[in-house]
Each structure stands twice: as structure tokens, then as C-alpha cells.
Structure 1
């Protein structure tokens, strides 16, 4: 995620709008603790429908993920904080849309010790619940540090599996025993809607990256065509040769040319 202040301000405002949307959907409806009743289930269905429509109309990936986390906090019994873990190529694990510093700290611990509920939810199980972090034995290194950081309970749901791209919705509470069977039931419903939004966010992100790459390569070819009075095909051949020779992606070669006017010519180490 970009650290540019204007982008941070925009993302934060979009997150505020998502909070307002979810709160508006909940207005006049039973609290999330009442979803066990017929009326509560009907209200939950309405609120999930509102969530799905709201996220479908959103084009900013970070806002989509933030909206998913905020909806989970609003709708699932026991939840105080949340975040989303994203795994690309089954290798790179990142934490996004954290609602506060607590999930950021817990997610960082999981990545550091390479064990924990969200990693199990991503790779192995669809749902993982930690009733009491202070007595948790499945991930001893993680549990001890997570409890010290302030997590008493945790609930993780697998969101999406397509190729090498994975995700998990991570939910936290400061007290032990915060999550019940109802929490899991409602959480599965929220996660099902969130998974669709997550998939769309991934596709949108990939499309945006592809379009950006195409534009960068187009700019780079234009520079070479103007500089050397050559054809489009010849300019592209120069870029691909530079990519192979420098061991850099074609996109990175184009960025170098567009930003500095130079083409890398030596193998990068």
C-alpha cells in the first residue's frame, strides 16, 4: 500500500464512508448479538445484501478490504478488531485493512514465527477459532506473543483460493471466550460475501496493474521510437533484450527508461 499522504487520506475517507454505510444498514435493526432469532436472521440477510451491493460499487481495492473488515466487526458477535491476510503465489504474506494497531501486531507476529490461526485458515482449514490465547497449544510461539500483545481470542476464515492467491479474514477480541458457535455461523456468512468482494478486489488490482504496465511499456517504446527513429516493433525488441540482459522484468525496464531516460544493460545482482 502506498505511503503517499494523499492516498492515505483518500483511503481513510473511504474507510469512514464504509463505516457509515454499514452503520446505516444496521440502523433500526437488532444488534449483532440477536442474530439467533428469526428477525435477527432476516436483518442479517438484509445487512449482508447491503454490504455486497456497497462493495460491488467500490473501485478502490483498499476501501473494499476495509469495508469487509468493518462489516465483520459490525455483524459478527464478539469481534472487536479485524484484518485481512493476503498471500500471493503461496509465498508472500501481507496484512491489509487492519482496523487498529492490535491486528497489525498480531499479524506481524504470525508472519515472523510462520505459524498461527490465519496461516492455517489460508492454507489448510476454512475456519480456525482460538478460544483462549493464554492456553493455546497449537501454535505455542505465536500464542504466547499474541497474548502478550493483547489478543485474548481469535477467529480466522479462509476467504479465497485461486491459483496461488489466498486470503483470510482475521478477527480479534481482547477477552478470552469472546467467540461462540454463533460467531462462527455469522462469520461464515460474512466471509462468503467477503470472499466475493476479495476476488473482485484481486481481479481489479491485477487489471489495474496490467493496464499500468501496458501504459509504461507504451511510454518507453515511444521514447525509443522518438530517440532512435525506429518502429514500434524495433523499440519493443530493444526493451525485451534489455529485460533479458539485465535480469529485470519488462515493466521494471520500462519504468527505468521512463523515469531516468536510461536502459539497464548489465545483469543485476
Structure 2
């Protein structure tokens, strides 16, 4: 097992790599988490595969991975509900194992993961996210070698996990902002469409929304899409009108 501490040269190379990874986060369509796992296998010598696990909404998911081991090793942990990466997320801890086939903490996962992927050593760092989201994440590093990860690798993993925490936090915030923008845009379109229906067909606000809802159900389309069409054309294509619309309301 390697035991050398992380040197200043190692730290400098890591810092340079993280600068490049951070740059990917600012590029539209960039894949910073993929860049992070690639940097992980570059800077932890015995690593052959790495991944980022995210727990959100009660579900585990691998957001990025590299190498042959990580995708299947991660999937087995999600299936079994236990393993170094899953437990690192749940326990807010760092887990290192030098031989998964002999580690009594995860006997089922270790046996199956080794049989299916050849993994022997794992290093799992919990990422500390800096917001109030319900997401939790972990950086996972795998090797087919026994006792592959020493003190130097744990230190390098800590540096990588720290940057990973910042990246995942930024990406979660970016997703929230994008979802909020989308919701606001949809609400705006729905409001415009309701106004058109209220004026054209002399409907109340509640009746106008019911008309959009029924049109959405019958056409098997999102309410926002129906609303955008009405806002663009001023016309609603609908096969039936909901109960509660006054008989005297003109049918478009």
C-alpha cells in the first residue's frame, strides 16, 4: 500500500487540474463532473475507475463515471442498498477498503462486485454540499488491485472531493435556476392563454384554467404547451369543454 504523503508538486498538479475542471463548469453544455472523475483517475495512480454518486429525492444515481468498474459496482450498491459509496453518502464519512472480498462491512456487495467487475479496492469520499438542497453526493474510486489506496491517495481524494463538493453545489443551483426559469415561463404562457380564453369566451379564471386542463388531457399534451399555442395563435383546439362552462359561452 502506498503511504507517501501528498507532496507540494502533487497538490500543484491537482490545483491545475481542478482549474481546468472548474472551467468546464462555466461552459454551456460542459460536463464538469465527467471532467472531475477523469481527473480523479489521472491523479490517483492506482485508480482504474471513478464515479460521482448523487442521492436526490430518495434515489441514488451515478452522475458521471469513467472506466469499466464504476458503472456496475455503483449499480450493485444501489440495488443492494449498501456498499462503501452508498454508506459514505448516508454516514457522512470516508471509507477505504483494501479488499472488498474480505471486508465484513459489505459482504454481499463485495462478493458480487468482485465477481462481476474484478474490483478489489475502493475509496469513497462524501461530498459536503454548500446549500440547502436535498442532494447528497460522493466521489468513488475503484481499483482491481489489493490495498491500492494509501494515505497519499486519501489526501488526494480529499482535495478532489472538496472541489467536487463545489461543483455539485453549483450544478444543483444551476438546475434549480433553470427549473425556476422554466416554471416562470410556463406560468406566464398559461396566464396569457387564460386571459385570451376569458376575454374571447367570457369565462372566469377558474373556468379558463379548466378548459386548458381538459384540452391538455384530451390531447395528451402538457398544459404549458397548450397554453403556448393559444398565446401564439389566439385559438384553442379542443374536442370537448369541461362541465361548468356557461352554455352561452361561444365555442371556439
TM-score normalised by the shorter chain: which range applies? 0.7 to 0.9
SS at match of 1:137: coil
Query: Which among 135, 160, 166 is matched to residue 136 of structure 2?
Result: 166
Contact 1:95 1:104 survives alignment (8 Å): yes
Within-5 A mapping of 1:102-121: 102-121=69-88
Equivalent in the alignment of 1:88: 56
Q: What are the superposed Cα offsets for residues 76-112 of structure 1, whole Å, 9 maximum, x if unpaired?
A: 23211111111114x1211111214421111111111
Contact 1:82 1:169 survives alignment (8 Å): yes
How far 1:212 moved relative to its partner?
1.5
Within-5 A mapping of 1:55-134: 55-60=24-29, 63-89=31-57, 91-134=58-101
Which is bigger in relative contact order (C-alpha 8 A, separation at least 6)?
2
Greater radius of gyration (CA): 2
Aligned residues: 223
Are residues 219 and 236 of structure 1, via their aligned partners in 2, closer, same or farther at CA, if it must alter by over 3 Å?
farther
TM-score, structure 1 length as denominator? 0.70
Question: Per residue, is there more helix in 1 or in 2?
Answer: 1
Contact 1:157 1:169 survives alignment (8 Å): yes
Q: What are the superposed Cα offsets for residues 199-238 of structure 1, whole Å, 9 maximum, x if unpaired?
A: 001100111111112222323333333344379x937983
Cα distance in 2, alignment partners of residues 237 and 176 from structure 1:
66
Are residues 128 and 226 of structure 1, via their aligned partners in 2, closer, same or farther at CA, if it must alter by over 3 Å?
same
Gaps of 5+ in 1: 1-32, 247-251
SS at match of 1:191: helix
SS at match of 2:105: coil
Contact 1:159 1:166 survives alignment (8 Å): yes
Are residues 220 and 261 of structure 1, via their aligned partners in 2, closer, same or farther at CA, if it must alter by over 3 Å?
farther
How far 1:117 moved relative to its partner?
0.9
Equivalent in the alignment of 2:177: 207
Contact 1:225 1:235 survives alignment (8 Å): no
Q: Are residue 223 (structure 1) and residue 193 (structure 2) matched?
A: yes
Cα distance in 2, alignment partners of residues 258 and 112 from structure 1:
41
Query: Which among 173, 186, 192 is matched to residue 156 of structure 2?
Result: 186
Contact 2:50 2:70 survives alignment (8 Å): yes
